[in-house]
C-alpha cells in the first residue's frame, strides 16, 4: 500500500495505517538521525518525537513533497532543536579538529601506524567507522545533506525541500562536505 493511502487511512482513524508508516520509515529515519547526533538514546528520543509530531500534524501534510521528504524534514527540525540545546559547547570546524582527535579516530577505527590496517580497505568496518567519525565533525547542514544524499539516496531537490534551502545550496553543501572528508582522509593516510 502506498504512503498516500496509508495517510488517508490514518486520518480516517485507522491507527494501524499509521503503524505501517512507522514500520516502513523507522529504520532509515533512525539511521539518518543517528548519523547527526551519534548517540543511541538521543536518537531514539528524536525518532519518537518525530513520529509524534508527524501523527499530530498529519492533517497538515499537503503532498507538495513525498511523505518521506516531509518526515525527514520533521526529523531534521528535531535534530536542529537538539543541536541548539547542545550548542553551548564550542563549535569546531573540520579543519580545526586537533590532531589528537585524528589519532583517536584512527585508533578507534583499528588504524596501524596512523593508517587503517592493510587488510581493511574502503568498505571494511574500520574504514566505515573512521568515515562516520569524520562525518560527525562536519557542520550540521553539510552532515545533513551528505547523509540524506549518500545514506538515504534522496535527490538534491528533495534534500533542499527537507532542509529548507535551495537545490543549488544543497549541491554546494554536499560538495563542501565531500571535499572536506577527502582532505581529512588524505591527512589520515599521510
pLDDT tens, 76-108?
A: 999 988 888 766 444 444 445 444 444 444 444
Right CATH for 3-86 from 3.40.220.10, 1.20.1090.10, 1.10.620.20, 1.10.1740.10: 1.10.1740.10
Task: Please tell me the predicted confidence (pLDDT) of residue 187.
Answer: 81
Instruction: Kindly indicate the confidence band of residue 110, based on its pLDDT and cuts at 50, 70 and 90.
Output: very low
Record the cell numbers describing residue 173, joined without a space. 553543501
**pLDDT of amino acid 117:** 40
Q: State the cell numbers at 7.
A: 495517510
- Least Cα distance to 135 among 176, 165, 89, 168 occurs for 176
Of the chain, the percentage scoring pLDDT greater than 90 comes to 52
pLDDT of residue 132: 82
pLDDT recorded at residue 32? 92
Q: Which residues contact 63 (CB under 8 A, 6 or more apart)?
A: 4
Torsional sign, CA 41, 95, 141, 170: negative
All structural domains of the chain with their residue ranges: 3-86, 94-189
Burial of 54 (0-12, 13-18, 19+ CB in 10 A): buried
Asked which of 7-11, 23-27, 130-134, 156-160 is least confident by mean pLDDT, the reply is 130-134
Give 10-24 pLDDT, tens digit per residue: 999 999 999 999 999
Fold category of 94-189 in CATH: Arc Repressor Mutant, subunit A (1.10.10)
Cβ–Cβ under 8 Å, residues 22 and 51? yes
- Which pLDDT score is estimated for 122? 52
Fold agreement between 3-86 and 94-189: no
Average pLDDT, the chain: 81
pLDDT tens digits, one per residue of 15-59: 999 999 999 999 999 999 998 888 999 999 999 999 999 999 999
**Per-residue pLDDT, 125:** 60
Amino acid at each position: 500500500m502506498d504512503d498516500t493511502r496509508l495517510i488517508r487511512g490514518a486520518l480516517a482513524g485507522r491507527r494501524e495505517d499509521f503503524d505501517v508508516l512507522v514500520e516502513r520509515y523507522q529504520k532509515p529515519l533512525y539511521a539518518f538521525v543517528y548519523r547527526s547526533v551519534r548517540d543511541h538514546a538521543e536518537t531514539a528520543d528524536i525518532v519518537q518525537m518525530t513520529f509524534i509530531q508527524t501523527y499530530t500534524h498529519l492533517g497538515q501534510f499537503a503532498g507538495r513533497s513525498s511523505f518521506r521528504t516531509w518526515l525527514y524534514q520533521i526529523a531534521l527540525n528535531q535534530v536542529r532543536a537538539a543541536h541548539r540545546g547542545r550548542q553551548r559547547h564550542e563549535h569546531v570546524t573540520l579543519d580545526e579538529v586537533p590532531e589528537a582527535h585524528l589519532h583517536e579516530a584512527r585508533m578507534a577505527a583499528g588504524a596501524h601506524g596512523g593508517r587503517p590496517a592493510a587488510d581493511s580497505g574502503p568498505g571494511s568496518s574500520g574504514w566505515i567507522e573512521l568515515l562516520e567519525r569524520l562525518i560527525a565533525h562536519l557542520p550540521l547542514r553539510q552532515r545533513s545533506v551528505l547523509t540524506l544524499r549518500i545514506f538515504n539516496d534522496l535527490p538534491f531537490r528533495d534534500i533542499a525541500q527537507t532542509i529548507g534551502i535551495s537545490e543549488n545550496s544543497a549541491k554546494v553543501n554536499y560538495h563542501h562536505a565531500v571535499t572536506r572528508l577527502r582532505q581529512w582522509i588524505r591527512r589520515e593516510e599521510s
